[in-house]
A and B are shown apart, each in its own frame.
Chain A
């Protein structure tokens, strides 16, 4: 079984400040990791994913994440946020095949960027 823990349910920051959204996972097998963003009343948009290779993954909108196997973490970062980054962010894990391709989501982190 796999699980995802997003340590912060809400993260308020000021515009142009850096931000880190934390994600830890647990799994007995190799996993693939994803970060999604959700704006109100919309579906999920992929920000970035880690499948293999370089542990530093760059995504859309200036976001990046680092896979740390020893700490079982996949924290999301952005050096300077904008008001438009205000949204809900979900970390997710999949073993891509072992469980019929199921995605397991964290509870989400609401990022609020204030002027």
Chain B
């Protein structure tokens, strides 16, 4: 139980284009989801917290107009990287809070390469 499906696993896009990453909770309802960015050989950096039906809460230093997060339903949250640049290339991971007993479930990550 408590599976989070993240797509795509890899994407290559041209500089200036936008990319959407989806995160779906398959067998539970995720009222709170998190988006992380991970640089090579580094830890996960929390970008934002999304709550179903409300605006995402962004961490300090994260550009909300560049990283658009939508959590329109209890099973889907999306991260759109707008006007992507090479410096946005990274590994992006979503996570859902599954309740006190289970904790957190992570997606399998998306490797974004902007060329």
Contact = CB atoms under 8 A, between A and B. Distances in A.
Contact of A41 (B44, B91, B95, B105): B91
Q: Is the interface of B mostly helix, strand, loop or mixed?
A: strand
Nearest to A44: B106
Interface residues of A, number: 23
Contact residue range for chain B?
20 to 34
A107 B109 CA distance: 18
Contacts of A46: 103-105
B46 A102 contact: yes
Given A42-B109, A90-B43, A100-B49, A34 B91 contact: no
A94 B100 CA distance: 11
Interface in B27-51: 32, 34, 41-44, 46, 49, 51
A103 B104 contact: yes
A49 B107 CA distance: 18
Contact of B44 (A34, A96, A105, A110): A105
Contacts of A101: 32, 49, 97
A32 B6 CA distance: 26
Interface in B63-101: 91, 93, 95, 97, 100-101
Contacts of B107: 43
A69 to B, nearest CB: 19
B43 A42 contact: no
Given A51-B101, A102-B49, A43 B93 contact: yes
Contacts of B100: 51, 96
Contacts of A105: 43-44
